[in-house]
Amino acid sequence: MVLYALTPSDALAKLTDLYPPDAHPGLPFLADLLKQPACRAWYAADGERVTAAIWYLYTGTHAELIDLIVAPSARGLGIGRTILEQSSSALINLGMRTVELEVRESNKAARALYKKTGFVRTGRRRNYYPSESGREDAILMMCDLSENGSL
């Protein structure tokens, strides 16, 4: 798997098939983030097929993982872990020491992936996400890149 840096123009061109129309955050919002100097994003491809994308905002030595998406046909193949690990190496090269994220409490697969890659739970935001049954909590997680050397 090869990781490629995203630009605002390629985000919409290359990732349209990866993001469903109802994705949150949506692709137009994410592509707009790339116009900010403190945003970095990468996508993974297997040949011509885009299999995953990851987005970060950063300030100082701290990064926030904004979104990680893996194509449904590529789930369970280790692509999520690989894009996390490879992008964390790039973040370290940018001087980042920590990465934080929030994830839906019900997203057990993502929570397990983050835990396997060195993230620890740091808190909870109650009723943060809309859900079919009303509201859902966000689980807050953090990874210390300076301790782990990468994710």
> Residues with catalytic annotation?
102, 114
Q: Kindly give the pairing relationship between strand 62-70 and strand 98-104.
A: parallel
Q: Is 69 in contact with 109 (CB distance < 8 Å)?
A: no
Rounded Cα gap, residues 50 and 17, in angstroms: 8
| 87 closest CA partner among 109, 111, 59, 55 | 55
Q: Spell out the alpha helix ranges (H) of the chain.
A: 8-15, 27-33, 79-93, 108-116, 145-148
Amino acid identity at 87:
S
Rounded Cα gap, residues 22 and 82, in angstroms: 26
